[in-house]
Amino acid sequence: MYTLIQTGVNNNKRHLAELSLLLVAIFWGTSYGLTKEALTYVTVLGFLTIRFLMTFCILLPVLYRELKSGNAYDWKYALPTGCILLLIFLCETYGVANTTASNAAFLISLCVLITPFIEWVVFKNYPGGKIFLNATLCLIGVLLLSYNQTVGISINLGDGFILLAALFRGIMVIVTRKLMIERQLSSISLTAIQSGVVGVSALLLCLMINPEANIHIPTSPAFWFTTLYLVLFCTIFAFFAQNYGVRQTSPSRVALLMGTEPAFGAAFAILWLGEHLLWLQILGGVLIIASATYSSMDKAHD
């Protein structure tokens, strides 16, 4: 009887985690277009500093309480994940600044395909031979997405940064699961530490690299409303849900649910920013989503 109850509790936790991850995909899908608008007011490093220091300050009381009570004694294991998160957001934000929001949303979904490979290396869990076919289809999708009527196939600097961000996202899922398994640190405190690492690191980079341009406080209400949305929904809720999700379900399930993000991102970019995609680019985006999602479908049903 106890086993049945415990199984039911575990299933409820898993379902809650997966619903939370789907909401993360929706919020993150909107973040590309909104980030692109925010970057019209401030530099990339300045934006990351403001966004993540705001997040850290909001979550600091919770972290302080848990540190004081001794519940966050293993906080040091969160530091490496914060460093990886810094790399993700540096690449993502520079990428969004130099490519379209819809391109960024599609290309970032390659993390779904990359994650099973990293899981294979770290956990010795072979993802199956079909992964190589899916990788080929994804490559074709990237080439179609990068098609330009003027110059043909061309992957610009922004696209390259987004591809790097996809790699680091895949690494992030695996490293978080490996380091945080059986740790007592709560998901909120984990998010606070990660945000602190990103915010402080970005501030140091601002001071070292062209501080005259990077140390700038925007006065536009539109910037602050956008940033507040990104902080509350795309950072605090999203990181909490992702950190909770990777503890309650498999890395491939996480990747599968997060694979819906580009569809929301592209739709938002088209409706909100008025971006336009050629039919070949739409086909490329569909190929990326379909092949990346299918690559983790078997494990998602484990």
Q: Reply yes or no on whether the pLDDT at 10 is more than 60.
A: no
pLDDT tier at 253, thresholds 50, 70, 90: low
SS (H, E, C) 92-146: HHHHHHHCCHHHHHHHHCHHHHHHHHHHHHHHCCCCCCHHHHHHHHHHHHHHHHC
Per-residue confidence (pLDDT) for residue 4, from 0 to 100: 45
Residue 183 tokens, joined: 């740790």
Q: What's the rounded mean pLDDT across residues 289-300? A: 60
112-156 tens-digit pLDDT: 777 777 777 777 776 666 667 777 777 777 777 766 655 456 678
User: Would you say residue 273 has pLDDT above 90?
Assistant: no
Confidence of residue 5 (pLDDT cuts 50, 70, 90): very low
Structural domain boundaries, residue 257: 2-300
pLDDT in tens, 69-80: 888 788 888 899
Q: What is residue 281's predicted lDDT score, i.e. its pLDDT?
A: 76
Share of residues in the chain with pLDDT > 90 (%): 30
**pLDDT number for residue 183:** 77
Residue 238's closest CA among 222, 249, 250, 254? 254
Burial class (CB in 10 A: 0-12, 13-18, 19+), 276: exposed
Mean pLDDT of 99-116: 78
Neighbours of 253 (CB within 10 A): 21
Between 160 and 248, the more confident residue is: 160
CB 141 within 8 A of CB 112: no
Q: Which residues contact 15 (CB under 8 A, 6 or more apart)?
A: none
Given a cut of 90, is residue 18 above it in pLDDT?
no
What pLDDT digit, counting tens, does each position of 47-88 carry?
999 999 999 999 999 999 988 888 878 888 889 999 999 999
Quick check: 6 pLDDT over 90? Answer: no
Residue 162 pLDDT > 80, yes or no? yes
d(CA 63, CA 282): 43
Instruction: Find residue 147's DSSP bridge partners.
Output: 153
Residue 167 pLDDT greater than 60, yes or no: yes
Cβ-contact 266, 103 below 8 angstroms: no
pLDDT score of 272: 77
User: Tens digits of per-residue pLDDT, 169-223?
Assistant: 888 888 887 787 777 788 788 889 999 999 999 999 999 998 988 888 899 999 9
pLDDT at residue number 295:
60
Q: Domain count for the chain, please give it.
A: 1
Closest Cα partner for 75 from 244, 191, 238, 234? 191
